[in-house]
Structure 1
Amino acid sequence: MLMRHVHPKLQFTHMLPYGAILHENGVQFVVFSRSATSMRLLLYDRVEDREPVEVIQFSRENDRWGDIWSIFVPGVAAGQLYHFQADGPYDPSQGQWFNAKARLIDPYAKALAGDFQQSDDGVIRPPKCVVVDDYFDWEGDRHVRRNLSESIIYETHVKGFTQDPSSKVKHPGTYLGLIEKIPYLKSLGITAVELMPVHEFPIGGIYGQQVERPNYWGYDPLAFFAPHRGYAAGTKPGAQVNEFKQMVKELHSAGIEVILDVVFNHTCEGNELGPTLSFKGLENRVYYMLGNGGSCYKNFSGCGNTVNGNHPIVRELIFNCLRHWVHNYHVDGFRFDLASILSRDRNGNLVPNPPLVEAIAEDPLLADTKIIAEAWDAAGAYQVGSFGDLRWAEWNGRYRDDARSFWRGDRGQMGAFVTRLAGSSDLYEHSGRPPYCSINFITSHDGFTLNDLVSYRDKHNEANGEGNRDGDNNNHSDNYGVEGPTKRPEIENLRVRQIKNMISTLMLSQGVPMIVAGDECRRTQKGNNNAYCQDNDISWFNWKLIEEHSDLVRFAEALIKFRRSQPTVRRETFLTGRPKFEGALPDVSWYSALGTAVDWHGDDGTLIALLKAPDLEHDPQGVGRDVLLLVNATSQPREFILPPVAKGTRWRLFVDTAAASPYDVYPDYDGPPPPRSRRLTLSYRSMCCFVAEDPVRLK
């Protein structure tokens, strides 16, 4: 039998069934429209051109196949700029928005070039689509395929990560700039970057005019398949395609996965008052959820419209888009913004086993990827703990709120805190999902940074220009005596301690931790908890903070390193509180500060937890250690008595959040042992973690 070996550099590229399909002698342009009466292709020579140099009419007889318009144009090559233009019924009362003058962005465009051009004739001129050659020398790159249970996720914004002059990178605010900071990411120990939206969104005003509040976060989709042109260092149309691929390849080379925050819940076309840019002008009644017979847009996203994700045509588009990012860009996973919208049928009703959610989980071409849901939407749906099957992980909003409330000192939070620390079995175990389906986080892009969480009692969003009305009012935050920055040492010390408490909690909890870029060095947004429009130093990462708060960075690095090495705090099954065999200790034991039974219904904010190392057959480190946690969330020092079961183990201090650096963490597990009396006093609002001196050899 003849066996053919394919060179590893010649890797599979996923060919899209729609859009601009590049062939040897030209390009096939393919677009869906059921209601269009005619279709045109507009070709441009330059980005700055206001009018096309050539208009090509599709033939209804020869270029339409069912609801697909498809035409081959010889002589067209990669780099060609284009729009579609469609004639059809204009009847907003019936949901029809065809406009024969509108220049339409291809829903499958792989890249855009330029910005919106100013209009004096009523015609909106959006960025132009670019014909893209998908070839890229990946040099054997493949998905990292790290188990989700072993992940440390770092949420960041491509531009904001390096835009500040303090980053000192060659290409600030770009994909290439992020590459220059990979050594820092690697030293911190994170295993995956979760990038805020990198698909195309408007850079400035849609009508070619500067807007008062520019889009910064990117949650305003313009083209789902195209990397954002604003993050490219190069100026050639389509430069962002290769630069994004280069970034992914370099991150993979460092062992870091790439997770994209995708926004399949709405687009920037808005409601009936919004512009016609793409979907509206091609088949509005298919792409969006409409009400009142089609005269208005259902708004489950809070952004004016809602993508009709469970319509078969739209479902196909979403699948093709996910496959495109996975196979053409090698991304490792997705976080789905306002994912509960994906659970709504074509009428907007939440349904069990929604087709789109099930199909994403079962798609064999996405089997290597991580899929994470923000399991709520802007219309009141809240599905944390019940979104999808075991393939779906979730941003655990309950973890965020319960951890914040506990450390703030709210009464009656012990039971909730312990449940989150143990992996949120109340949310996931009943459906057969493991602890790593819980993406634990205390902060995200949406809300306070970790520094601001302990520095502000109230939001301060005045810079957003909305009279401080925007943003969440329920932050579970505190300022500990002074609103905002202070030089009072007792308040500053407490704030640092609380930051360490929450970093420690996050890294020692069962589940998967996610931290926000800059939380490890006290990045601040000056009390702004909704910085969606702040493309300035409010949002940008100030790299001077790395040195200014090097002690905190060291602390975070040590906790991340510990988590990655210790299966004790990242189990793949839920803790049971029972011994594995007679005479053994349970996998977890809970005690009061006095070493007695815990009063789960009381208001005492103290706790002792003893976690046994799991008995694993295969562990990359070959060892595991027992862990002893002592927690004091009260405002007073408290005496702790270690329970008798801890007596037979030689313990070493690993973390003491009340201690000053370098005595706050012992990365080599060589801290002092507890007193022989087994009695010790924990300072107010602090946490200690002891680690067994002798590792348990795992079978």
Structure 2
Amino acid sequence: MTATSTCRAPQRPAGVGAAEVLPAGRPWPLGASRRDGGLNLALWAPDATGAWLCVFDDAGRTEQACWRLQACTDGVWHGWLPLDAEASLVYGWRVDGPWDPARGHRHNPARVLLDPHAHEVVGAYAGDLERSLGHLDIDPSCLDPQDNADVALKARVRPQARVPAPMGSGPRVARPLHAWSDTVLCEVHLKGASRLHPDVPAELQGTYRGLSHPALLAHWRRLGVTTLSLLPLHARADEARLQRLGLSNYWGYSSIGFLAPEPRYASQPEQALDEVVAMVDELHAGGLEVVLDVVFNHSAETDEAGPTLSLRGLANRGYYRLDPARPSHYLNWTGCGNCLDLSQPRVLQLVLDSLRHWVQVIGVDGFRFDLAPILGRRADGVFDPHHAFFAAVLADPVLAGVKLIAEPWDLGPGGYQLGSFPPGWAEWNDQFRDTMRSWWLRGAGDRGVFVHRFAASSTQFHHSGRAPAASVNFITAHDGFTLRDLVSYDHKHNHLNGEHNRDGHHHNSSWNCGVEGPTVRADVLALRADLQRALLASLLLSQGTPMLLAGDELGHSQHGNNNAYCQDNPTTWLNWTGADAPLGSFVARLLTLRRAVPALRQPRWLRGTPDADGLVDVCWWHPQGRPLHDADWSDRHDRALGIWLCAPPAAEAGEDDDTPDGVLLLVNPDAQPREFRLPDGAWHAVLCSAVASDTDPAAGGVEPCPPLLKVPARCLQVLSTPATARRLARWPAWAHFSNVS
């Protein structure tokens, strides 16, 4: 092995025998795949001058053999290794070629590299961090000849009989397949959800099987969530900086194995693949879809000073976008040191292979794509909604039917792309978040901006046949304050992150209600509770697709940390024993209302004009008792409004009442109560965000509301027509919440 460098080239490690040559095999599929009584191996390394398959003991510590691949086709090195169907194999790659960072080449045969198509990862990037660098720590331009075989990440091929059955086969549970208009997302960190749950056995807490434990399934079902949106589960490598501080990339946005599940979430690391498959099946059996957050915009190899773990040592110039002015450096449109280049066909292939694997083998139902504009950038860096990535996903028979959600921004040129993704995609709508926070907590915004976001942001999404569900509405997410902290802190408190509180968002549109952080003042606590309920009601009753942050329904606090990405501890683990039970009941009540009343989740855009049957789907109502006029929309001194929604009734077994569903949402963001003159007819109160307990009679009643109704301060109140009230009373989950008959 040789390397083009002014530094000494690394030599073959002692104890490894002469390099035997493997038969040619085939250049497809990439990775390791069983064929003809053996293992076909294919690795994309187009600038390499040689590639070696290195085999290790089961623990991945001792290199036992090394074989040279003799064949290279179109930049793919390939070979075939005899392997019994009942045998497993732990392996890594060594790749030789030019070491010339100034031209973007970073080959170093002293580095054992992880196969990008590994289905299972052995080992962890930890401990001897310096030996995972491809270069000398004191001189990044010079390669490091020190061998790292014992500490490098490896791939495992399992016995053929232990490969999970694919989705659609007999043993697997069928997908729930919730329609977009019925979907309610809940963003969940797999470990944090069960780590402190008292009913989950200790050995399962914080694991794949912990998330699907019956205690958690019962919680999701009670809430009315349909789809869990899980933070990344790809095998990851925590940044060296965090490890030196005793921290980790808890959120998981440091992927290195795009087809492999993270071993740390398994009760037994070598069982990670089995456990993640079992988790998905158990969630499906409980009626829950699984959407996986995926990070294809960058890798854990970070910037030019980062480690050489896989892609960098295989095809640095192919996988990554390099700085044209300094090819030894990376374009950093992600804020994480590098960004992958999906304008390269082989990089696109890796992404598609990963997506198909997680759908077919592991069984997930969709994906949320982190910093998604990166995926649609052409070779010149311009975002293109017609990019090959979008075309390939929508044309793929495996991927065409799954849920696709974009985080529609990155740090590249023209990085904010909300509403620009093609049909078939939904997008995180941060403008909904900002509007609702400012509306309730900062007294900002007029009726026009509130209604625009409530009605699913038509300016951004009503084009190209896209539906209201394309707007994924949220108030809080993993990145930022929790709901409890949003009403408890004016300022972020991220000191534990080791960055002197410089990290995290500086503008949160939060309000501490008069006291920063915890307090025993009853008036402050009552105000915070009212605001949390008003924000939740705005989220879960708006048009579009709502996304709840797991823990918000429990009143979980991160003590003002709005960037808890590295806090793998009780800061982020959900505190079930200290849960705010009335708040959880309120969320369940909101979602029962959303399911029961089709007007609250309409699959078509609101029009405000009669349809073919003469039904008007929405009327925007002034508290004085009339429809809103032109000047009313921009009046910042009077922001209260009513939203009168109608839709055909939901089809129910035995339902003989075809009266349209009608609800009236009364929104009072002011600090004082406000009187509303109601539209003509009988209206019944079914929900009030100012009511703390679901057993309080003020939450609903059998008597019609008076024509002039006083709505409490900072409150969203829901009224219904008598027919809708009767339908609600027949919903089992609603009966104990309301005495409407």
TM-score with structure 2 setting the length: 0.86
Deviation at 1:169, TM superposition (A): 2.9
SS across alignment from 1:216 = coil
SS in 2 for 1:139: coil
**375-384 or 564-573: bigger deviation:** 375-384
Alpha-carbon shift at residue 23 of structure 1 (Å): 4.0
Q: Which residue of 2 aligns with 1:64?
A: 72
Map 1:580-599 to 2 at 5 A.
580=611, 584=614, 586-598=616-628, 599=632
Given the alignment of the two structures, is residue 610 of structure 1 paired with residue 636 of structure 2, yes or no? no
Match of 1:626 among 640, 645, 662: 662
> Secondary structure at 2:684's aligned position in 1?
strand
- Among 195, 198, 202, the alignment partner of 2:233 is 198
SS for the counterpart of 2:40 is strand
Report if the CA contact (8 A) 2:31-2:41 is conserved: yes
Q: Cα distance 1:489–1:381, how it changes in 2: closer, same or farther (>3 A)?
A: farther
Which position in structure 1 is the counterpart of 2:218? 183
Residues in 2 aligned to 1:123 and 1:147: alpha-carbon distance in whole angstroms? 52
Which whole-Å CA distance do the structure 2 matches of 1:652 and 1:674 have between them? 5
Structure 2 counterparts to residues 597-676 of structure 1, below 5 A: 597-598=627-628, 599-603=632-636, 604-614=638-648, 625-643=661-679, 647-648=680-681, 650-663=682-695, 671-676=701-706
> CA offsets, 1:331-374, max 9 Å, x none?
10000000011121123222352221232223222122000000
Which of 50, 58, 63 matches 1:46?
Answer: 58
Q: 1:692 aligns with which of 717, 721, 724?
A: 721
Contact persistence 2:441–2:510 (CA under 8 A): yes
> What is the CA-CA distance between 1:651 and the residue it aligns to?
2.4
Letter in 1 for 2:437: R
**Amino acid across the alignment from 1:276:** T
In 1, the alpha carbon distance for the partners of 2:147 and 2:578 equals 47
Q: CA deviation at 1:234?
A: 1.5
8 Å Cα contact 1:258-1:332 kept in structure 2: yes
Q: Which residue of 2 aligns with 1:30?
A: 42
For residues 200-221 of structure 1, the C-alpha deviation after alignment (integer angstroms, 9 at most, x for no partner) is 10257499x6544321100011
Change (3 A) 1:590 1:371: same
Match status 1:578 vs 2:609? yes
Distance 1:378 1:19 in 2: 32
Which residue number corresponds to residue 94 of structure 1?
Answer: 103
Structure 2 distance, partners of 1:406, 1:487, is: 26
Is the deviation greater in 561-570 or in 512-521?
A: 561-570
Q: Which residue of 2 aligns with 1:276?
A: 308
Counterpart CA distance in 1 for 2:231 and 2:673 is 41
Question: Where does residue 10 of structure 1 map in the other structure?
Answer: none
Q: Which of 429, 450, 454 is equivalent to 2:483?
A: 450
Q: Which residue number in structure 1 is paired with residue 16 of structure 2? A: none
Q: 1:279 to 1:664 in 2, by over 3 A?
A: farther
Question: What's 2:121 paired with?
Answer: 112
Counterparts in 2 of 1:651 and 1:458: CA distance versus 1, 3 Å: same
Equivalent pair of 2:438/2:445 in contact (CA under 8 Å): no
User: In the TM superposition, what are the counterparts of 1:272-421 in structure 2 within 5 Å?
Assistant: 272-292=304-324, 294-379=327-412, 381-421=414-454
SS at match of 1:463: helix
**SS at 2:404's partner residue?**
strand
Matched with 2:8 is none
1:130 is aligned to 2:156: yes
The answer for unaligned runs of 5 or more in structure 2 is: 1-26, 132-145, 728-741
Over the aligned positions, Cα root-mean-square deviation in angstroms equals 2.4
Counterpart of 1:502 in 2: which secondary structure? helix
1:222 corresponds to: 256
Change over 3 Å in CA distance of 1:450–1:686 after alignment to 2: same
Give the equivalent residue in structure 1 for 2:29. 17
Q: For 1:465 and 1:478, how far apart are their aligned partners in 2? A: 25
Distance 1:204 1:346 in 2: 28
Q: Is 1:75 matched up with 2:72? A: no
Cα distance, 1:697 vs. partner? 12
1:521 offset after TM fit, Å?
A: 1.2
SS at 1:365 equivalent: coil
Q: 1:273 to 1:480 in 2, by over 3 A?
A: same
**Helix, strand or coil for the counterpart of 2:578?**
helix
Give the SS at the match of 2:492. coil
**CA separation of 1:691 and 1:92: change in aligned 2, threshold 3 A:** same
Query: Which position in structure 2 is the counterpart of 1:679?
Result: 708
- SS where residue 374 of structure 2 aligns? helix
1:520-599 aligned at under 5 Å gives the runs 520-546=553-579, 549-580=580-611, 584=614, 586-598=616-628, 599=632
SS in structure 2 opposite 1:89? strand
Task: Specify the alignment match of 2:143 in structure 1.
Answer: none
Paired with 2:383 and 2:654, the residues of 1 have a C-alpha distance of 44
Q: Describe the SS at the equivalent of 2:220.
A: helix
In structure 2, what is the Cα distance between the partners aligned to 1:284 and 1:621? 64
Q: Distance in 2 between matches of 1:117 and 1:212?
A: 11
- Paired with 1:459 and 1:233, the residues of 2 have a C-alpha distance of 34
Question: Could you say which residue in structure 2 is the equivalent of 1:162?
Answer: 194
Decide whether the 8 Å contact of 1:384 with 1:427 is kept in 2.
Answer: no
